[in-house]
Amino acid sequence: MEMKKFLCSKCQKVIEVPYGIPKPDFCPYCGVPATFIHRIDAGGRGLGPGRGRKCGMRMIEKLGRE
């Protein structure tokens, strides 16, 4: 199973979480909140760079014109 990797900036430990599971709310090693936990791998399961919410809106507008 593929894993996402996060780094706790407080204790410098790597946290691995399976895809489909959100980032932990607290570091399992030192207990700091999620604001100290940051993604360190490339990601890759999303829509790609620059393909956020606006991309979906463009698609909806395009479908409305047809």
The pLDDT of residue 42: 77
Average pLDDT score over residue span 33-58 = 69
Tell which CATH classification among 3.30.70, 2.40.50, 2.20.28, 2.60.40 matches the domain 3-65: 2.20.28
Higher pLDDT, 25 or 53: 25
The pLDDT of residue 55: 54
**Residue 61: pLDDT band by 50, 70, 90 thresholds?**
low
Mean pLDDT of all residues belonging to the chain: 80
CA dihedral 44, 46, 47, 50 (to 10 degrees): -80
The pLDDT of residue 53: 54
pTM: 0.62
Residue 7: CB atoms within 10 A of its CB come to: 17
Domain coordinates of the chain in residue numbers?
3-65
